Amino acid sequence: AQSVTQLDSQVPVFEEAPVELRCNYSSSVSVYLFWYVQYPNQGLQLLLKYLSGSTLVKGINGFEAEFNKSQTSFHLRKPSVHISDTAEYFCAVRHQAGTALIFGKGTTLSVSS
């Protein structure tokens, strides 16, 4: 069975600072990895995904994530955050196409000026 652990429940940062949101997963098989963002009162929006190939993946809004198989991690990074990045971020895993996503508990990113 797969599981996802988001290591930080809340991450407060100042505007224009870099940020890293941490995600670790456990699985006995190869997985696909995803980050979603949820703004207040909205659904989940796909930020980026790792399916195969290059371990560094770039997504929307200047976010990127790096897949590290040996450490079973998929941390999300942004070099300079904006106030508008304030949201809930979810890491998720699925072990093959056609199966459901398993989510972490989420990380609240709060960006202040």
Partner 1 sequence: EAGVAQSPRYKIIEKRQSVAFWCNPISGHATLYWYQQILGQGPKLLIQFQNNGVVDDSQLPKDRFSAERLKGVDSTLKIQPAKLEDSAVYLCAWGSGNTIYFGEGSWLTVV
Query: Least CB distance from residue 94 to partner 1, whole Å?
Result: 8
Query: Least CB distance from residue 32 to partner 1, whole Å?
Result: 6
36-41 long-range CB contacts below 8 Å, 24 or more apart?
36/89, 36/90, 36/92, 37/61, 37/87, 37/88, 37/89, 37/90, 38/87, 38/88, 38/89, 38/90, 38/106, 39/87, 39/88, 40/87
Query: Least CB distance from residue 106 to partner 1, whole Å?
Result: 5
Footprint of partner 1 (CB under 8 A): 4, 32, 34, 36, 41-46, 49, 51, 90, 92, 94, 97-98, 100-106
Nearer to partner 1, 34 or 63 (CB): 34
Nearer to partner 1, 17 or 46 (CB): 46
